[in-house]
Structure 1
Amino acid sequence: MFPLKTTERCYTWPVVTWLLIGLNLWAFFEMLMAFQAGDGAYRRFMETWWLVPSHYNLRNPGNTALTPQNLWPILTHMFVHGDGWHILGNMLALMVFGPNVEDRFGHLRFIVVYFACGLAAVITHVVFHLNDSTPIVGASGAIAGIMGAFFVMFPKARVVSLIPIVVVPVILRIPALVYLFFWIGMNVINALKVMRFGGEGDSGVAWWAHIGGFAIGMVYAAVLAKNPPPRQKGSAA
């Protein structure tokens, strides 16, 4: 199920949303260039941009979690993606849900919420994977937060979605509550399944990061966006 657009109207140009998409595409291009340059350049790129959960386990002797080398990836990992499908899926979700959330929050608060959700997402993931040396990359956690905010602020919206049924794609207008409840539900089920079976069958997806980001996005929406902007008051339902 792929989101294409929402039925909600935007009243402002989503400058920050498109800026974030541009930065993610730039970082992906930089990663491709490092890969083409050879193992040495690619390894340096990974050490600088990717986040390794085990580096933040304070129980490890000689832990260096608070050094600049490990603090920088807390931010940079949000802009790096593993492959083309990874960045395509994330940027599509950001393009669909970001504009309405940015419109409601305002540009500055949208930036704060985006990175706060990304931070909450990676903290949640690290807590559940303290001994994991598998790098985590991607904007999924931050974007999950934007989806969580949309869930709270636009409960009556619909999400126009492409659903591939066998070989015939079908486009449907799905209630946002149904779409997002299904999305977060699948993340919770997969996260619990990985915990239950000790990591067996783990696809490498940071399920807990999605859950953490989504939850914080809902909280921010409930606290910061209780009322619509003045320009929207009195408009037709």
Structure 2
Amino acid sequence: IKGSPACAEEIIIDRDIRLARAAGAHVHIQHVSSRLGMETIRWWKSRGDVKVTAEVAPHHLLFTDEHIGDYDTNYKMNPPLRTQADCDALLAGLIEGVFDLIATDHAPHTPFEKAQDFISAPNGITGLDTALVSLYHHFVEPGKFGWDVVVKRYSAEPRRLMGLPVAALEVGQPAECLLFDTAAETTFTREFMKSKSQNTPFLDQTLKGRVDLVVLGSEILLER
């Protein structure tokens, strides 16, 4: 199932960046899904006369419109899934540095909402449970990019853009970290996931890697 034309994304990105330049503002482009969108951002960044940052989500790097052949609403999102060529271009843009952030685009919906027919079901999938493991399984472990990209684009750069201090692993500093087991596997069953909803294309998939511990300050948010 083809989604909205990629040129629609290209046009709206170009419009918003032009408006930001006219206003002297910083514009952040979310959820880029197409080669045309990525190339538009790259062109504007190369000019250097407007502050542009942008993000991409794991599902737009991994899934294509071919996955929607059985009308599974867990593949329905906005912006939509596109072609393999778009996925490849987005991955190249991430490695090149066109994208400043990797975002989850976390959008939970109830099973009732997603059980509707494909047209009626709402857009959006969950991402918090699956993002890091899917990045490791599909990109880090096979050597498409390294942990340096994950740490910078999924952790350090988001903190910097939001004006948060660097999370340092030092004695006396707040513990803001996680423990990731590269030798383990994760099966994303409904029972395993901690989000209030499980509307994800990764449902019941088994991927390499597992988040075993998440610590924020003095609080353990997750421990397996």
TM-score range, shorter chain: under 0.3
Choose between structure 1 and 2: higher strand proportion.
2
Higher relative contact order (CA 8 A, sep 6+): 1
Q: TM-score, length-normalised on structure 2?
A: 0.27
Q: TM-score, length-normalised on structure 1?
A: 0.26
Choose between structure 1 and 2: higher helix proportion.
1
